[in-house]
Amino acid sequence: MNGNMDSKLKLKKEGFGSLSFIIFGVLTLLTLILCVCVGSVNIPIIDVFKAIYSTIFRLPIPEGIAHSIIVSVRLPRVLSVALVGISLSICGAAMQGLLKNPLAEGSTLGVSSGASLGAVIAIAFGITIPGIPLAGTMIMALIFAFLSLVLILSLAYRLDFSLSTNTIILIGIIFSMFVNSLISLVITFAADKVKHITFWTMGSLAGSTYLNVAILFSVLVVFGGLILRFSTELNAFAIGEDNARNIGVNIKRVKFLILFSVAAIIGVCVSIGGTIGFVGLVVPHITRMLTGSNHKKLFPATIFTGAIFLMLSDLAARAILSPLELPIGVVTSFVGSIVFVLIFYRNRKKS
């Protein structure tokens, strides 16, 4: 018992070093600037700074600067991409720590599939709120994400009152398969929207606005902050639920709050950017190789690596076949699957 308490206190003291924070922060900022500068039209970095500076301080816009491209198109898109990357990565790291499963992420629980179903229904049947772009899609995605969470946890509780990890994962996988069949059914009744739905399901953040940035940032601060608050508890989960309970962790409360937060974040990300796979799966593994498994260090580092990974993926989606644009989900799935196989091979080789 004393040993467990000492371990808990030690984990509380450990954190993300200031030097590491600065290094990751600089890399993220440089990536953001690169993604704003590069695209179908390459823009000099000095013009980017001038355009942003002129906008912030409401100064006259210098001649010869593509102000609208920088401020109205590129910047909100890159910021949205970074926030989605952070959100999905934090959710993936939280799910892997909570369920003690290296394959866990937001989609493992079935919440991502549920949110996708809600968004597809909104697109297929034209559910909108006048004057608020994407509001119908977002609200439907959130409603279905939370309904999915309630249904999955209810079924898991009926089968296993302790809400064990294996039961939650099994119910989540079965639920995802069921929802995917419903999505296919909805698509058959929306022949005129098939192209739009298909492109959306592959993931894209083209056309993002500052409203999207504000929504993503607000949800990330509230629910992402709640997840980060449970870093110590997730460290305790790593040594087993029984040991975590012995050192005072309220297992059911922590599980519910983390799953609730993941559902909220995934619902908003899916409604804005569509289905973007492999981010929540691969990024935490990459980060864990750099920082270790202590969530006090893992979560802060994941914020930066998630943003960098998705910003570079979006840049590749825009630049590879320029002026054509690939869905970002295609790039993340292609790169993520290769990276995950390499990580798996490396870990097996070590063991």
47-88 pLDDT per residue, tens: 999 999 888 888 888 777 788 899 999 999 999 999 999 999
Q: Where are the domains of the chain?
A: 81-350
Tell me yes or no: is domain 81-350 CATH 1.10.3470.10: yes
C-alpha–C-alpha distance, residues 202 and 205, integer Å:
11
Q: Long-range contacts for 28-35 (Cβ within 8 Å, ≥24 apart)?
A: 28/82, 28/304, 28/307, 28/308, 31/307, 31/308, 31/311, 31/312, 32/78, 32/79, 32/82, 32/307, 32/311, 34/315, 35/74, 35/78, 35/81, 35/311, 35/312, 35/314, 35/315
Mean pLDDT computed over 173-191: 90
Percent of the chain with pLDDT over 70: 93
Q: Would the pLDDT of 191 be above 70?
A: yes
8-43 pLDDT per residue, tens: 434 444 456 788 889 999 999 999 999 999 988 899
Tell me whether residue 66 is exposed, middle or buried, using C-beta atoms within 10 angstroms of its C-beta: 0 to 12, 13 to 18, 19 or more.
Answer: middle
